Copies of this chain bind each other. A is one copy, B any other.
Amino acid sequence: MTLLSHSSPEITSVADLRLRYHSVRANSEALAAPLSPEDQVVQSMPDASPTKWHLAHTTWFFETFLLMPHLPDYQAFDPAFSYLFNSYYEAVGPRQPRPLRGLITRPSAAEVLAYRAHVDAGMARLLNMQLQELVPLVELGLAHEEQHQELILMDILHLFSCSPLSPAYRQNPAQARPDYRPVEWRSVAGGIVEVGSDGGGFIFDNETPRHKVYLQPYALADRLVTNGEWLAFMADGGYRRPELWLSDGWAKTQAENWQSPLYWRQEEQESWSAMGLEGRAKIDPNAPVLHVSYYEAAAYAEWAGARLPTESEWEHAAATVAGLSELYAEAWQWTRSAYDAYPGFHASAGAVGEYNGKFMVGQMSLRGGSSITPVGHTRATYRNFFPPSARWMFSGVRLAREAT
């Protein structure tokens, strides 16, 4: 996920910002509350990070980019944290290698909470200074922390999926879903349309500049692919038929023996369970499929006689077409578009903006939002991105096709 925003043209009042700061920061700690110190320290794979690291890294962001340069007399909580909790900002100096984040048993979870309190106190002082020019950077820090809130849940689910005990992060009873109905296709005329943000509110820089694209006529499915549909794909040999797959995807399924979405397990003939934040449970055929890679999404679309939408198609439809459900609150939706720079995109200056485009190769864009995305975090222009083989995020599938 990118971290960096354009300055927002709407001026947020400092009072509002202070409220929002406290709300976002409290939410992060609430997410960690059900977790033991052990749960918070372990890193279950190189792509994931410990909860404690997320809590500290989001705090490091405020300390490094706001308190250190802008709050007079601010004393860093611990100078070593700059090394431990930097993620990938080369300009800020060296850092703990990502695959080794799980070796940081000290500071403890309790010390990280103290670090958070120290920085929050500093931020309270800074916000009282009413420095209007820092508002965009604070907003960026908060949006950054919201991204890490989603990562906390993704990463904990992966960790818990590795335990033979299948622990539950939370106890929410699964809500009963109605039987899914056939997809309805929403047609879109195409032509020259505009995509990208025109800046009305906080945005990340990769959403800009707003620009014209030309779209052929197309249609989008009104809902996401369900687990029931995915089971039909599996039953029809979906994971065993190379002709459905991209070459790299087929190689991956063979190398890692994929036979279902991530976290699924065959309990007995015909019955499947999935690991989720509520623990392991029987698959609900009416729920949207989750935890599929781009390779799987593309193979499914091929099997279904459809395709995945492009980023522009998705965004234009999300912004203008009625009748599309499950846009933002179920699963991120793979697009067939590689994540890249919009025409005219330019990186910001300085450490915060050092790497605006540094992830713009080798990854695919996803759009929408998921059930674990913080409320209010996404919008039609929001661009999420992951490598085509990634599956531990809450990713799903919305089909597209040429207009008939």
Residues on A lying within 8 angstroms of B by beta carbon are: 36-42, 44, 52, 80, 83-84, 88, 90-91, 96, 100, 102-106, 108-109, 159, 162-165, 167, 192, 211-216, 242-243, 245-250, 294-295, 298, 307, 336-338, 340-341, 343-344, 354-355, 357-362, 364, 388, 402
Contact = CB atoms under 8 A, between A and B. Distances in A.
A245 B358 contact: yes
A348 to B, nearest CB: 12
Nearest to A364: B361
Nearest to A249: B361
A181 B219 CA distance: 50
Count of identical protomers in the assembly? 4
7 contacts: A38-B108, A41-B41, A80-B165, A213-B214, A243-B355, A249-B361, A338-B338
Contacts of A162: 100, 103
A84 B163 CA distance: 9
Given A164-B83, A359-B247, A361-B364, A214 B242 contact: no
B38 A109 contact: yes
A247 B44 contact: no
B42 A362 contact: no
A82 to B, nearest CB: 11
B96 A354 contact: no
B245 A298 contact: no
A256 to B, nearest CB: 16
